[in-house]
Structure 1
Amino acid sequence: MSKTHEKQKQLHHDVTHVGLRAQATAVGLIQLCIELRTANVLDDSALTRIKQVIGDELLLGPYRRHASRDDRDEVRARLDRLFAGEEKIGPVDELQFLTEGDT
Structure 2
Amino acid sequence: MSNAYDKQKRLHYDVTNVGLRAQATAVGLIQLCIELRDANILSEDAITRIKSTIGDELAVGPYRRIASREQRSEIDARLNRLFTGEQKLGSADSLSFVTTPED
Counterparts of 1:68-87 in structure 2, within 5 Å, are 68-87=68-87
Structure 2, unpaired ranges of 5+:
none
Residue pair 2:63, 2:100 contacting (<8 A) in 1 also: no
**TM-score, with structure 1 as normaliser:** 0.90
Q: RMSD between aligned alpha carbons?
A: 1.5
Counterparts of 1:1-103 in structure 2, within 5 Å, are 4-101=4-101
Give deviations 1:7-55, integer Å, cap 9, x for gaps: 1111100000010010110000000000000001010110000000000
Moved more, 26-35 or 3-12: 3-12
Which secondary structure state, in structure 1, belongs to the residue aligned with residue 73 of structure 2? helix
Q: 1:53 & 1:88 partners in 2: Cα distance?
A: 21
Structure 1 residue 67, shift from structure 2 partner: 2.0
Percent of pairs with identical residues: 65
How many residues align? The count is 100
Structure 1, unpaired ranges of 5+:
none
**TM-score, with structure 2 as normaliser:** 0.90
Structure 1 residue 82, shift from structure 2 partner: 0.5
